[in-house]
Amino acid sequence: MSKKVLIISASPRKGGNSDTLADEFARGAKEAGNIVEKVSLCDKTINFCKGCLACLKCGRCVIQDDAVEIASKMHEADVLVFATPVYYYSVSGQLKTMLDRANPLYDTDYAFTKVYLLAAAAEAEVSAVEGSITAIQGWVDCFSRCKLVDTIFAGGVNSVGEIAGHPALEKAYQTGKSV
């Protein structure tokens, strides 16, 4: 059955390494007949969560910016894919800010049951992505109906375009196909 797949690309570099992983995942998921949308956070205005917790009382955020629509798309998606560069052994600030702003989804009838993490880092060792996995796993654990299914890590890539030919691209495509 066709699934709604929402890919959130969280690098400030369009066409960068994690964004390329996102495109390969999208290509596979589309070929398999799913409805796929990619949102690039670098095109959006996403302010920091104020911590007011009004969202838990009235179900929506008091800040009117692009995060509201993205959180609504997240609510409707069956599959969430987070593509991020590794920044100081965690996810990018853009992604962390978006996850904070998705707080209105907490305790709602959200659709997503599967989450994937796509990450790129300068260091080749898998240990470079562990902090990013912990960050995403922490968010996923707050949404009891969903789980972090897989992480696709492209290590040893730094400049834009360096990911070309990296085996993680094929893995992203194949995982997208099987989503």
Ligand X SMILES: Cc1cc2nc3c(=O)[nH]c(=O)nc-3n(C[C@H](O)[C@H](O)[C@H](O)COP(=O)(O)O)c2cc1C
Region binding ligand X by CB under 6 A among candidate stretches 37-45, 63-71, 117-125, 133-141: 117-125
Which one among 43, 51, 57, 88 touches ligand X, defined by CB under 6 A?
88
Q: Per CB under 6 A, does 39 bind ligand X?
A: no
Rounded CA separation 37/25 (Å): 11
Task: Spell out the alpha helix ranges (H) of the chain.
Answer: 17-31, 54-58, 66-76, 93-101, 130-140, 167-177
Q: Which two tokens stand for residue 178?
A: 């099987």
- For residue 141, the Cα-to-chain-centroid distance in whole angstroms is 15
Give every strand in the sheet of 79-85, ordered side by side.
Answer: 35-40, 4-9, 79-85, 114-120, 147-154
Q: Per CB under 6 A, does 169 bind ligand X?
A: no
CB of 89 to ligand X, least distance (A): 5
CB of 5 to ligand X, least distance (A): 19
Q: Per CB under 6 A, does 85 bind ligand X?
A: yes
The residues that touch ligand X, with contacts defined as CB under 6 A, are: 11, 13, 16-19, 85-89, 120-123, 128, 157-158, 160
